[in-house]
Amino acid sequence: MSLLRRPGALVSTLLIVLMGAAFFTQVVPYGQIVDSRRQVAEARQQLSDLEAENSSLRADVEALQTPGEIEKLAREKLGYVLPGETAFVVLDPPGTEGDIAEQEPSSEPVEDKTWVDELWEFLSGDDLD
């Protein structure tokens, strides 16, 4: 009943409540607007990336319409030859670097670790490297 006796306190309290309500009704939509703008920017970037990829694929399709490109791809990918031509396959000689790596086990030194070291690596995530 003391608020009714002092109209200035009632008006001040009511004004503070109304301003608080107005503030919160404006803050939440503003956050949504900012989030929507971010999503629009991401969508535009994705659209430009897809358009660039699309134009690249269109260029590939147009190139595949020419007989020269088809012949080139058939020779490179499938090993086709024209009648009268001789095809050669060049292989790496035995004992090259790729074969040696497959035959020899890795020469990395094995570290002696205590169970405490292994436990610490497990807990810290260093064992995932």
- What are the residue boundaries of the structural domains of the chain, listed by start? 2-103
pLDDT at 25: 78
11-55 pLDDT per residue, tens: 888 889 888 888 877 777 777 888 899 999 999 999 999 999 999
58-98 pLDDT per residue, tens: 998 998 888 988 889 888 888 888 899 888 888 888 877 75
Torsion of CA 80, 81, 82, 83, to 10 degrees: -110
**Residue found under tokens 């024209």:** 82
pLDDT at 45: 97
pLDDT at 2: 56
**What are 38's two structure tokens?**
């971010």
